[in-house]
Structure formats: structure tokens, C-alpha cells
Amino acid sequence: MGKRVYNNLSLKSLKSEKDLFRKDAYYKTFLAFLKYREEISDYDAAVMAENQRFRKLISNPGSNADNYTPTDTELLATLRLIKASAFNRFFDFYLALACSGARVAEIADLCNNAHSYKKVQMAGFSKYLKTNVRGTKKSFVIYLPDFVNIQKVSLTYLQHKVLKNNPELLRPKYLRKYFCYTASGLNIPADLIDYYQGRVPDSIQSKHYLSKQERADFFYKDKLVPNFLRLYDEI
């Protein structure tokens, strides 16, 4: 059945074989195939748009997956509450999570060990470079708009004091999903969303990595920074 989808890829064929993607192996393989289509087309706009429609049609088969993604309104409510509270030290921490797509542990590391990162100032944003390896999870670069200030935070205090006593606040882990959903809504290519969020394969060649950096810089400045700045102005 899988060959029928790959050999004659269309929305019609994908709908007819949709049950295939209830199996995790099929789902992951198909996503990898879509990335391959984008690469061999040199990221042709028509192919990118078609792939976005394919991705929306299928869903992750994980039965216990937490698919909640915050809206702009929910994020704004949390940011306003934090900013006006006694724990406003976490305001920029939440901003950094929402604007970078990085994992909670990685933003905490940046906040508490900024001296160990190489900061590259760009027009309207900065890139913080460091290789973090935790098992299979890696981070190569963290992108942040200039209005985000890096300052030390305590995750223990956040977890056991702030969040425990303020259940209406968004949990930090959901801001990674927020970034992914926002970037996808701005039609940023899936391979660049992976790049922002630290999902870059070990085997990537240096020239392709540099090309991806240039594209990532362009899309972050052109689409993501204006979007996050609009949100920031509403806080």
C-alpha cells in the first residue's frame, strides 16, 4: 500500500491510504520523504506548498500524544500575568522559549551560562552558538529577537513555586509547540523549523549546513522577528 502513495503522490491518493499513518513507522518515513522532495526540488515554492497540504492531512499516530498548542491569546495572557507579578524575572525566559522554539533545558542553560555561548549579532536578532548534546537531543544555535533579555533563572523555583501556585500559567514545554505552529503558519519550510529547534542530522554536509544557516537567518529576520515584535507590542 505504501508504494501506491509514494509512486503516485497526490491529496487523493494520500486520503485513500490515510490509515497507513496510524503506524508510527509509516508516519516518520513519510515526513522524511517530504523533506527529501523539498531538497531535490531545491525548495521550489510549489513543492513546499504542496508538502504543507500533505502534512496537514496526516497526523502523528501516537495515541497518548499531548497535541495541545497555545494560541497567541493564551500566550499573551501568560506573559502579561508574569510581567505584572512578583515573579517577573521569568518574563524574558518565557519570551525566549516562545521566540526560539528551543527546549526548556536549552534556554535555561543559555540564561544561566550565557558566557559559554558565542553571540552573533544580526539585524534585529541574535544567534547564540553552542553544541549541547543530551542523549539524542542536540542544539546547534538559538535565535532570539533583540527585545529578549537574557538573565539567570531557577527552573526548580519555577516548577515548585511559580507554576504550582499559578495553574493558569502556560507550562513552558508548550512554547516549543507554539513556535513550531507559528513558524508553520508563516510558511517557513519544515527543514528550517527543524533547524531552529535543534533537529539537524549528524550527517549534514558543511556546505549544506551553511546554506541552511543563510536561509534560516533570512526567514527569522523577514517573518519571525516581525511576528514576535507584533506580539511583544501587545503585552
pLDDT, tens digit (0-9, with 9 covering 90-100), for 195-211: 999 876 555 554 555 68
Cα–Cα nearest to 119, from 141, 139, 100:
141
Percent of the chain with pLDDT over 90: 50
Most distant CA atoms of the chain, gap in Å? 58
Res. 52: pLDDT tops 80: no
Cα–Cα nearest to 182, from 193, 168, 171:
193
What pLDDT is stored for residue 199 in this prediction?
78
CA atoms within 13 A on the CB side of 228: 28
Q: Which residue has the higher pLDDT, 38 or 169?
A: 169
What three-state secondary structure class fits 24? helix
Separation of alpha carbons 90 and 95, rounded Å: 9
Res. 55: pLDDT tops 80: no
Domains and CATH numbers, the chain: 2-57 (no CATH), 72-233 (1.10.443.10)
pLDDT digits (tens, 9 = 90+) for 175-201: 999 999 999 999 999 989 999 998 765
What three-state secondary structure class fits 80? helix
Instruction: Write down the pTM of the prediction.
Output: 0.71
